[in-house]
Each structure stands twice: as C-alpha cells, then as structure tokens.
Chains A and B, each alone.
Chain A
Amino acid sequence: EAGVAQSPRYKIIEKRQSVAFWCNPISGHATLYWYQQILGQGPKLLIQFQNNGVVDDSQLPKDRFSAERLKGVDSTLKIQPAKLEDSAVYLCASSPGRSSGNTIYFGEGSWLTVV
C-alpha cells in the first residue's frame, strides 16, 4: 500500500513570495490533515478535511494560508504571501474515516525555508 505522498520535499523562497504544497493521501482515506511543525515543536493542526468538506480550520491563518481538497482526494496548501515565521515542515496526514480508533498516517513532509 502506497503511503501519503507530498511534494515538493524542500522549498526555499523569499518573504512575500508564494508557495504551494501538494498531498496525495492513502487511497480510500476519507480524512486528510495538514499540520505545521516548527523546528523543536510538535505538529500544529492547520486544517482537517473529511472527504472534500472542512472539519476544522480554526488554526489556519486565513489571511495568508489557504487549502483545498479537490474531489475529496488530493489536497493543496498555499501560502501567500510568506513570512519568515512560516519556515517549518508542512506535514500531510490521512486517516480512513471518522470512526473512533483510527490512526493517522503521515507523509515525509515538505520543508519550507523563508528567507
């Protein structure tokens, strides 16, 4: 079974530029998550999708971050314009569904450096 795929793996941009990250979850997984992990910290939930609907985006900085999940499969996270404090690893994860007892499966992450 293929895992969660993310791209690009690494990205360096200047502040005020834009960047987009792509995620393809495990086939059949209804729930998709985007987390931001700053160096030395734990993952912080940015947005959670159930199929193509948003379950939770309360911690997504909506003035600069946006995310969509087209047709309930893959997803794109965009940052525009980027700030220095956005330097982090952006982790995509997926889970089979909403029933309790699910675990989530993470991709390898997209490393963003804003200079």
Chain B
Amino acid sequence: SQQGEEDPQALSIQEGENATMNCSYKTSINNLQWYRQNSGRGLVHLILIRSNEREKHSGRLRVTLDTSKKSSSLLITASRAADTASYFCATVYNFNKFYFGSGTKLNVKP
C-alpha cells in the first residue's frame, strides 16, 4: 500500500516537553509532508521534505527523512497545549497523489 504508518498512535506529554512521532512507508516517494488536524477541522499543512533532503526545520518543527529505511520523523520542540491535535504524514507520488496514514494523536497537558 502507498500510505505511511504513524507511530505511536497516541502520545501524551506535559507542556514544554518535546514530542516525536514517526512515519514509515513502503514505496519510493517524491516527497513527504506532515499535516495537522484539530478536532472537527480539516487538515493543515505543516512541513514538506523532498526525497533528496535529510532534514528540514520550520519554527519549532524538525522533520527528518531516511529514504534507505523509508521512514520520517516529526519533532515538535517545547510543546504547548495548543499543539494538541492529530498529526498525519502524507506520502506523495507522481501526479501529486497524496496518501495519508492513520495519524498520531498528540495531547499536551498544561
């Protein structure tokens, strides 16, 4: 299948701690993207990493990509209660085909 699988399924941390979630996939990709979904809302793009990149940063977000292991990780540093949401990785293929995993549900306790 072409979608990624996130791990863990759920994560609960205290405000100020770092949150790490992982995504594994099976077939070669064009790029990999991370999206966030607040309860009852649509998904919002966070960050994109191309298949020839190894690491990207955006504010408190750091994403890595290891194409040899077919895996990616998303790190949120110094988490805030407002970061509470579900996070999805999207594996992107030719013709802009996007496939989403089942997500990691992050709960940041104040």
Contacts and interface: CB of A to CB of B under 8 A. Distances in A.
A105 to B, nearest CB: 7
B43 A106 contact: yes
A97 B96 contact: yes
Given A42-B88, A100-B30, A101-B31, A48 B45 contact: no
A50 interface: yes
B82 to A, nearest CB: 19
A33 B42 contact: no
Interface in B6-35: 30-31, 33
A12 interface: no
B30 to A, nearest CB: 5
Nearest to A107: B42
B96 A43 contact: no
Contact of B43 (A41, A43, A97, A100): A43
Interface stretch (B55-63, B66-74, B97-105): B97-105
A48 B101 CA distance: 17
Contacts, number: 63
- Chain B binding surface, main DSSP class: strand
Q: How large is the interface on A (under 10, 10 to 19, 20 to 34, 35 or more residues)?
A: 20 to 34
Given A50-B95, A98-B95, A41 B45 contact: no
A55 B42 contact: no
A56 interface: yes
Interface of A: 4, 31, 33, 35, 41-45, 48, 50, 55-56, 91, 93, 95, 97-109
Contact of B99 (A45, A50, A97, A107): A45
A42 B41 contact: no
19 contacts: A4-B42, A35-B100, A41-B103, A42-B88, A42-B101, A43-B100, A44-B100, A45-B99, A48-B97, A55-B95, A91-B43, A93-B42, A93-B98, A100-B50, A100-B92, A101-B31, A101-B48, A104-B96, A106-B43
B44 interface: yes
A45 B98 contact: yes
A97 B102 CA distance: 25
